[in-house]
Amino acid sequence: MNRHGVIVDTNVYGAVSMKSLTALIEGQIVDRIVRPVGRMLFPDRIGCGDDVEYFAFTIRYDGGVGEEHHVDRDIRVDGNGERIACDVIDVDGPCHDFELKEHRDASIVTLNINLNLPEKGERYDGSEVFFREFPWNDGHGKDRRDPSIHEKGRGNDVGTVRFSPGMAIIHLGAHRHGSLPISTPPGEKGTDNGKRYNLVIWLFGADGDVRIAPYEKDDHMNVMQRWHGCNHTKEYVFGL
Ligand SMILES: O=C(O)CCC(=O)C(=O)O
Ligand SMILES: [Fe+2]
């Protein structure tokens, strides 16, 4: 994964370390959106300290495959068993991400934003993100599923999401997911289309810690803590 993506971090060697970009990600996206919204959506999963650090990176899928494309590609399988699309220039021609196998993230919560620019003709087909069953019972705490779901025989595959440009998904890192193969839209073979660009942000605890055990209701963060963290000292009065 991430054959053509970049890490956005001022402290990692080889990463994109543009201060304005990291400030935007940290100040506007992580602090103002991912943390408070993640805490609000998953109150039984995210507690004080579980989402204090982040890791941001971009990904690019490229589905231009076949003879119609300007470069011939063939589909190979990499060391992880993932299919990749490789330029047939020579045996070691560059390879491109094409799909993403089912996995969990090394995060408590993940934000994934589609960066495609439709005005630049960045269109693609396929590449839906699929999700498996919500991790109600991952070996911790009691299984809080609605039993009627099982009675209805609902399977393990809960749904797929198709990204439109600008759209974001926020999900638990523990929620198993992956991405279906990408392709060039019909009638656009031979163009540069068939690519998907996304920015992914993982949140986790200090030293990369990812908590799994759910919290009891009495231990959920309150509204004040969700927005200001658990160590705030400022008096806060709603409506002022
Ligand atoms: O956009 C993608 O295909 C990556 C999906 C994913 O793995 C994630 O959101 O964590
Ligand atoms: Fe993921």
* Domain spans in the chain, listed from the N-terminal domain onward: 7-227
CA–CA gap between residue 29 and residue 22 (Å, rounded): 10
Average pLDDT, the chain: 83
The DSSP code for 102 is E
Indicate whether this complex's ipTM tops 0.95: yes
Task: Output the CA 175–ligand 2 centroid distance in Å.
Answer: 9
- Identify the nearest ligand to the CA of 110 by its number: 1
Task: Output the CA 76–ligand 1 centroid distance in Å.
Answer: 21
Protein residues near ligand 2, an ion, with CB under 5 A: 105
CA–CA gap between residue 130 and residue 157 (Å, rounded): 8
The DSSP code for 214 is P
Our measurement of the distance from residue 142's CA atom to the centroid of its chain's CA atoms, rounded to an integer in Å, reads 27
Q: What is the mean predicted confidence (pLDDT) over 103-123?
A: 94
Q: What is the pLDDT of residues 24-78, one digit of tens each?
A: 999 999 999 999 999 999 999 999 999 999 999 999 998 775 444 555 677 888 8
* Residue located nearest, by CA, to atom 9 of ligand 1: 112
Task: Output the CA 110–ligand 1 centroid distance in Å.
Answer: 9
| pLDDT score recorded for residue 138 | 57
| pLDDT score recorded for residue 5 | 78
* Residue located nearest, by CA, to atom 6 of ligand 1: 178
The pocket around ligand 1, CB under 6 angstroms, is made up of 59, 100, 105, 110, 112, 129, 169, 177, 179, 198, 200
> Taking the alpha carbons of 76, 79, 84, 89 in that order, is the dihedral positive or negative?
negative
Task: Among 31-35, 97-101, 126-130, 157-161, name the one with the lowest average pLDDT.
Answer: 157-161
Task: Output the CA 143–ligand 2 centroid distance in Å.
Answer: 24
* Residue located nearest, by CA, to atom 7 of ligand 1: 178
Q: What is the pLDDT of residues 147-191, one digit of tens each?
A: 554 444 445 667 899 999 999 999 999 999 999 999 888 888 767
